[in-house]
Amino acid sequence: MQKIKQSLPLQIFIALGLGIVAGLIFLSAGENAVAFTVSYIKPIGTIFLNLLKFIVVPIVITSIVQGVVSLSDIKKVGTIGLRTIIYYFCTTAIAITIGLIFANLFKGTYKVLQTSDLAYEAAEPTSFMDTIVNIFPSNLFQPMVDSSMLQIIVIAIFVGFGIIIAGEKSQAFKEWIDSCYEVFMVIMKGIIKVTPIAVFCLITPVVAENGPAVLGSLAMVLLTAYLAYFTHALITYSIAVKTLGHMDPIKFIKGAFPAFLFAFSSTSSIATLPVSLECAEKMGARRDVASFTLPLGATINMDGTAIYQGVCAIFIASCFGIQLTFGQMLTIVLTATLASVGTAGTPGAGMIMLAMVLQSVGLPVEGIALVAGVDRIFDMGRTGINVVGDLSAAVIVSDYETRREAREGKKAAAEA
Ligand code: ASP
C-alpha cells in the first residue's frame, strides 16, 4: 500500500486497469450506462486535460527561456536544435519503415472492407513553404492563446537570446522569468498529482464506447499498428538510448512509462508535456535540454503517428485492391516523415495528416473513413510512442551535452 501511495506510475497504471474494467462494466450494462460515462465521467477527464493545456504554455515558455539563457551561447542553442531535429527525422523514418514492414507482413490477414459508399472530406493541405512561414509568429500573444507550440518555441528562443545579449540590463527580467517558472512548476506538480484520476476518467468512456465488437473487422490492422509501435519503442529507442545516450534501456523504459501511460489515455502529446518534463527530470536528463527537446518533439516528432500512417496506407490500399510498389512505399516514408512535422500534438491530428500521405501515392482519401471509427484506439498507442520518442531525444541530447562540456572543460584546463 505504501508503495502505491508513493509511486505515481504505479497509480497511473492501476487507474488505467480500473478504467478498462469500469469501461467494460458500463458497456455490458447497456446504452444508458455508456451514455452516463460520456456525459459524466469524460468531462472530469476533460477538466484535467484543460488544466494541463493551460499550464503547458507558461511552463514551455519559461523553461525554454531559462534553457537558452543557461546555455549562454547562441551557437550552442543552434547545435542542440540541429542535433535534436536530425535525431527526430531519423527515428521517424525508421518508425514508418517498421510500420510498413509489419503492414506488409500482416496484410494477408486483413478483412477487406466495403469501399463503395465511403466519404471523407480531406482538409486543405498546407504547403511546405506555408508550414515554414507559420513557424514565425506575427504577434506576441496569439501563439499563447492558440497554444501554437512551434511559434511559442520561437518566441521563447528569441527572448532567451535577448536576455543573453542584453547582459546585465536584463537581470531583472531574467529573475522575473525564473520566479514565474517556479510558480508555474508548483501548479504543474499539483495538477500532475491527480493524473491517476484523469487517466481513469479518460479511459472508461473510451472502452465503454469502443467495445470489442466495434474493433471486429479492424482488429488485425490495430494489432499490426500496436506490434509496430512496441517494436519501435523496444528496439529502436533501446538501441538509441544505449548507444547514443549511454543509458540502460530498462531504466529508460521504466522512466518513460508514466508519460507513455498518460499519453495513451489523453491522446495528446502537448497535454502530456508536463508529465514528460517530470519523467525526463527523474531520468536525469538536463533541464536546459529537456525543456527544449520535449516541447519541440511534442510538435514535430511523431514516430507513432508515422507508423500508424504506414499501416493504414497499406490497409486502405488492400481494401481498394491496390498493390503499392516499392517506390510508392519510399514516397510514404518521405511524406509521413514530413507530415509528422505538420501534425499537431492533439487528439486525432494524425488522421487528418493521413490524407496527405495517401494523396502522395494516389490512394483514395475516402479510405480514411474505413479507419476513422477506431481512430481513438490507434491514437492512444501512437501518442504514447510519440512521447517516448521525445523522451529518448531528451536523454540522448542531455548525455551528449554533458560529455561535450566535460571534454571542453578538460581542454580548457589543459590549456590553462
Ligand atoms: N494524438 C497525437 C499526439 O498528440 C497526434 C496524432 O493524432 O497522431 O501526439
43-70 per-position pLDDT tens digit = 998 898 888 888 888 988 888 888 788 7
What pLDDT does residue 396 have?
96
Per-residue pLDDT reduced to its tens digit, 377-406: 899 999 999 999 999 999 999 999 899 888
Expressed in angstroms and rounded, the spacing between residue 82 Cα and the centre of ligand 1 is: 23
The three cell numbers locating residue 11 = 497509480
Expressed in angstroms and rounded, the spacing between residue 384 Cα and the centre of ligand 1 is: 9
Q: Which atom of ligand 1 is nearest to the CA of 349?
A: 7
The yes-or-no verdict on residue 111 having pLDDT over 80 is no
The yes-or-no verdict on residue 3 having pLDDT over 90 is no
CA dihedral over 150, 355, 319, 333, signed as positive or negative: negative
Of the candidates 42, 383, 378, the one whose C-alpha atom is nearest the C-alpha of residue 208 is 42
What pLDDT does residue 322 have?
87
What pLDDT does residue 256 have?
95
What is the pLDDT confidence band of residue 115, given thresholds at 50, 70 and 90?
Answer: low
> Is 256 a pocket residue for ligand 1 (Cβ < 6 Å)?
no
What pLDDT does residue 9 have?
75
Q: For residues 273 and 270, what is the distance between their CA atoms, to the nearest angstrom?
A: 5
> Is 269 a pocket residue for ligand 1 (Cβ < 6 Å)?
yes
What pLDDT does residue 302 have?
93
The yes-or-no verdict on residue 214 having pLDDT over 60 is no
Q: In terms of pLDDT, which residue wins out, 125 or 243?
A: 243
> Is 265 a pocket residue for ligand 1 (Cβ < 6 Å)?
no
Name the phi and psi angles at 285, rounded to 5. -70, 150
Overall average pLDDT of the 249-255 stretch: 95
Expressed in angstroms and rounded, the spacing between residue 230 Cα and the centre of ligand 1 is: 16
The yes-or-no verdict on residue 140 having pLDDT over 70 is yes
Beta-carbon neighbour count of residue 368 at 10 Å? 22
Overall average pLDDT of the 150-172 stretch: 90
Q: Which atom of ligand 1 is nearest to the CA of 345?
A: 4
What pLDDT does residue 114 have?
64
Residues 319, 218 contacting (CB under 8 angstroms): no
- Contact residues for 403 (Cβ-Cβ < 8 A; gap 6+): none
Rg over alpha carbons for the chain, rounded to the nearest Å, is 22
Burial label, 409 (beta-carbon count in 10 A; 0-12, 13-18, 19+) = exposed
Amino acid occupying residue 64: I
Expressed in angstroms and rounded, the spacing between residue 376 Cα and the centre of ligand 1 is: 10
pTM beyond cutoff 0.75 = yes
Give, for ligand 1, the residue of 305, 311, 390 to mutate: max count of ligand atoms closer than 8 Å to Cβ. 305
Q: Which range among 9-13, 154-158, 286-290 shows the weakest confidence by mean pLDDT?
A: 9-13
The yes-or-no verdict on residue 213 having pLDDT over 60 is no
Q: Which range among 80-94, 110-124, 269-283, 368-382 shows the weakest confidence by mean pLDDT?
A: 110-124
What pLDDT does residue 104 have?
93
Average pLDDT, the chain: 87
Overall average pLDDT of the 230-236 stretch: 96
Protein residue whose Cα sits closest to atom 3 of ligand 1 = 345
The yes-or-no verdict on residue 192 having pLDDT over 90 is no
